[in-house]
């Protein structure tokens, strides 16, 4: 069986539908890496706004999980929703600062006090989505592959990773102190999202393959900046064999399905 890992979506239902129509993606088991909601409608250099449809994205992902045995991981933005629904004020405040206010309007929430948002997330129609997010795992793995939203802390074995690192870690996972890529300390090919590739290496590619040397087991970062404001922001799909060999790379940017092996720099 092949596995297709899909990076951060951030409410881009239109691009997601195009990606899911690809035959290679359809013929594999899909592992969504989280961050289904939030996002910005503006794109650098673009005169028109991108659509933001968080509930449509969640409906699509839920359908894939329930009807196709696909896997959806929890992302940190999804966790804003989950923790706010459970009454956490810090998550509510952080969500507000990370496009939460825009998302609330799209969810039909127009009174944005903590009490009002909590109430809306815990009654129909939104409670259906709250319950879905509450049962999402933080990681997925087989004998050769490991997928998490953000990354892992190299100081601890996989069984001892803490929730915040799986959802939030960045530089400590990517780099050594000298800014070279950290050695993969596991026996798994690791696939993550969370950090738009444009913020690390803005060379036009929608993914980054990280290896400390040619013998290191690779790690892939496939958050290609969907609805991040990046001119070439899109959704990336990396298809690997069961043992981690690359099968396909696909990238949807602004409604166009692209060859993910090639760079795309918007003019």
- The string of pLDDT tens digits covering residues 241-251 is 999 999 999 99
Residues 59, 19 contacting (CB under 8 angstroms): no
Residues 218, 226 contacting (CB under 8 angstroms): no
What is residue 110's predicted lDDT score, i.e. its pLDDT? 92
What is residue 46's predicted lDDT score, i.e. its pLDDT? 75
What is residue 227's predicted lDDT score, i.e. its pLDDT? 96
Residues 147, 138 contacting (CB under 8 angstroms): no
Residue 27: which pLDDT band, with cuts at 50, 70 and 90?
A: very high
pTM of model > 0.75: yes
Residues 81, 133 contacting (CB under 8 angstroms): yes
């Amino acid at each position: 069986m092949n596995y297709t890992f899909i990076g951060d979506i951030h409410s881009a239902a239109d691009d997601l539908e195009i990606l899911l129509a690809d035959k290679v993606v359809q013929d594999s088991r899909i592992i969504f890496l989280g961050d289904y909601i939030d996002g910005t409608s503006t794109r650098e250099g673009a005169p028109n706004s991108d659509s933001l449809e968080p509930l449509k994205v969640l409906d699509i992902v839920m359908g894939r999980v329930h009807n196709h045995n696909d896997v959806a991981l929890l992302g940190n933005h999804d966790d804003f929703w989950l923790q706010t629904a459970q009454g956490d004020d810090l998550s509510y405040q952080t969500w507000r600062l990370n496009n939460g206010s825009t998302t609330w309007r799209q969810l039909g929430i127009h009174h944005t006090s903590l009490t009002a948002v909590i109430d809306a997330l815990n009654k129909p129609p939104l409670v259906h989505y709250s319950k879905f997010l509450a049962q999402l795992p933080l990681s997925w793995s087989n004998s050769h592959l490991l997928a998490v939203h953000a990354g892992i802390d190299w100081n601890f074995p996989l069984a001892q990773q803490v929730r915040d690192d799986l959802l939030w870690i960045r530089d400590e996972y990517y780099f050594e102190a000298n800014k070279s890529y950290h050695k993969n300390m596991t026996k798994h090919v690791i696939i993550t999202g969370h950090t738009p590739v444009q913020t690390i290496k803005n060379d036009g590619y929608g993914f980054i393959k990280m290896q400390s040397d040619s013998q290191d087991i690779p790690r892939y970062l496939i958050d290609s900046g969907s609805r991040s404001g990046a001119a070439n922001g899109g959704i990336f799909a990396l298809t690997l064999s069961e043992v981690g060999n690359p099968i396909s790379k696909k990238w949807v940017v602004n409604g166009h399905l692209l060859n993910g092996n090639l760079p795309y720099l918007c003019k």
